Amino acid sequence: MPHAPPLGALLRQYAAGSALACDPVDQGLLNRGYRLRTTRGRYFLKHHFDLETAAPEAIARQHGATQRLAALGVPVAPPLPAHDGRTVAVVGGHAYALHPWIEGRHRHGAQLNAEQCGRLGALLGVVHASLERVMPVEGCEQGEKSASADEGARTEEGAPDSEPRSPSGAGTPDGRRLAPPGEGVPDDRHRARAGRSAPGAERAASTRHATAPANGARAGKPHSGHPHVQKAGTTTPVDVGADPAATFALIDDLLARVRGHRPADSFDELARHRLLERRSLLEQHVGRRPPHSGPVGWVHGDFHPFNLLYRGDAPAAIVDWDRLGVKPRAEEAVRAAAIFFVRPAGTLDLPKVRAYARAYRRTAGATPSELAAAVHRVWWERLNDFWMLRWHYERGDTRADSQFPAASALVVWWTREYEAVCDAFVG
């Protein structure tokens, strides 16, 4: 098996018996996972190897958070302790963690009724409220400076917060590759990841620029004022939304790559159409760049269908906490909805979004104005986001290609139906 874990050395550190079978689950972006069966039961073995998320302090933070959340009754799957009490086993310089195997299946929003959509929103609200209880306040204060629009659009399928390493379907980029919206998703515990949010373009050669939006929180006009976020009575400057000048430059670069691709195919044709369309949209809305993010707090960071397991109609476990961090909370709620409730044609199921958002606001204590501002910021990042095309043309990685039609259509539809989308989140 590729990258076979050292089972003998690992299991000697746990009271988990001897290995009977070990099968890799579909490989993710950040880490590798294995379905492990031993003489004492079934487990999920996680190999932490991503440089960003496999740092000892990052793993310890993830594990501590899930342990404390479990004590509050949040459905998670905390790691099992080894003989020495630690939750991370290091063998050959590699870090591993053993988790209980959680039986369940993933469910897209198309498979949820209105009541279940409300339960989903309430669950995310409980996660945010519970993290606020169990995570250190100083983490939020230190994290405010980095809580900005460059967080992954957890686009349609979750995309990365930084330069893409390799893809998800995220979810989201920050995230595993999701099945096409509306399709049933299998019972496998994990799927290949496809990303979290596209990085900003490296070049900013365009002479176009954005103007500050007007006051207000609706119709593309988020709260006025300086770019600050607020937490525990403090304000810290943060970056504003994606720079449209950099986006125009990226569009030009991608169009050149499309023209140079031989032999040209149907994907190239759609990519060219969407790039030209997006450039036109951005020119029309260049003055709507959001000035700041909303209140920050600890968030899961990658909340999408392939990181939530259902047993029957009830959520059984929220998994994959690699992106745990301090980010704008309401924006995670909006991104998650845009992943769960996107339809194959690139529209959102707004009645389900409304049920989800009402329950989220209630359990998270979020205000309608926070959600309205978050809708605007996530819309703006989607308008400036091209992670799927960057993977295709810059990396030659086509794993997210099947998601591009719906994802690119969603941006256009969202722009046209901006008010209706905002009403669904705040009504």
**DSSP notation for 184-206:** ---S-S---B--S-PPPPS----
Higher pLDDT, 345 or 179: 345
Q: Which domain holds residue 287?
A: 112-426
Question: Is 80 exceeded by the pLDDT of residue 196?
Answer: no
Lowest mean pLDDT among 34-43, 105-114, 163-172, 378-387: 163-172
* 185 and 160 co-located in one domain: yes
Predicted confidence at residue 31, as pLDDT, reads 72
Q: By the 8 A CB rule, do 28 and 190 touch?
A: yes
The rounded percent of the chain whose pLDDT value lies above 70 is 74
Does 322 map to a domain? yes
Residue that is last in its domain, among 100, 133, 155:
100
Question: Is 90 exceeded by the pLDDT of residue 157?
Answer: no
What would the mean pLDDT of 4-24 be, rounded to a whole number? 93
* 33 and 119 co-located in one domain: no
Does 1 map to a domain? no
Q: By the 8 A CB rule, do 133 and 333 touch?
A: no
Which of 299, 344, 349 lies closest to 112 in space, CA to CA? 349
Higher pLDDT, 179 or 355: 355
Task: Give one word for 85, left, alpha or beta, with left for phi > 0 and alpha for psi -120 to 50.
Answer: left
* 80 and 202 co-located in one domain: no
Burial status of residue 83 (CB atoms within 10 A of its CB: 0-12, 13-18, 19 or more)? exposed
* 215 and 297 co-located in one domain: yes
Does 129 map to a domain? yes
Lowest mean pLDDT among 53-57, 71-75, 356-360: 53-57
Lowest mean pLDDT among 15-19, 26-30, 83-87, 294-298: 26-30
Question: Is 70 exceeded by the pLDDT of residue 339?
Answer: yes
If one counts the domains in the chain, the total is 2
Predicted confidence at residue 2, as pLDDT, reads 56
Predicted confidence at residue 86, as pLDDT, reads 93
User: 3-class SS at 23?
Assistant: strand
Distances (CA, A) of 335 to 302, 330, 370: 9, 9, 14
Give the C-alpha separation, 45 to 16, whole Å.
11
Higher pLDDT, 164 or 138: 138
Q: Predicted confidence band at 118 (pLDDT cuts at 50, 70, 90)?
A: very high
Lowest mean pLDDT among 144-158, 289-303, 365-379: 144-158
* 238 and 132 co-located in one domain: yes
What would the mean pLDDT of 282-297 be, rounded to a whole number? 90
Let me know how long the chain is. Answer: 427
Give the C-alpha separation, 135 to 205, whole Å.
42
Q: What is the CATH number of the domain that holds 73?
A: 3.30.200.20
* 87 and 193 co-located in one domain: no
* 206 and 258 co-located in one domain: yes
DSSP class of residue 30 equals S
Cα angle for residues 414, 418, 424 (degrees, 5° grid): 100
* 62 and 179 co-located in one domain: no
Question: Is 60 exceeded by the pLDDT of residue 182?
Answer: no
Distances (CA, A) of 243 to 7, 52, 154, 230, 338: 48, 25, 18, 23, 22
* 325 and 410 co-located in one domain: yes
Q: Predicted confidence band at 140 (pLDDT cuts at 50, 70, 90)?
A: low
What would the mean pLDDT of 163-181 be, rounded to a whole number? 31
Provide φ and ψ at 243, rounded to 5°: -80, 115
Predicted confidence at residue 141, as pLDDT, reads 56
Does 105 map to a domain? no
Give the C-alpha separation, 275 to 298, whole Å.
34
Does 2 map to a domain? no
Residue range 241-278, pLDDT digits in tens? 899 999 999 999 999 999 999 999 999 999 999 999 99
Question: Is 70 exceeded by the pLDDT of residue 144?
Answer: no
Higher pLDDT, 135 or 184: 135
- The number of beta carbons lying within 10 Å of the beta carbon of residue 167 is 33
Does 107 map to a domain? no
Q: Predicted confidence band at 137 (pLDDT cuts at 50, 70, 90)?
A: confident
User: 3-class SS at 33?
Assistant: strand
* 197 and 320 co-located in one domain: yes
* 16 and 164 co-located in one domain: no
- For the whole model, what pTM was predicted? 0.77
Question: Is 50 exceeded by the pLDDT of residue 217?
Answer: no
* 258 and 364 co-located in one domain: yes
Q: Predicted confidence band at 156 (pLDDT cuts at 50, 70, 90)?
A: very low
Predicted confidence at residue 277, as pLDDT, reads 98
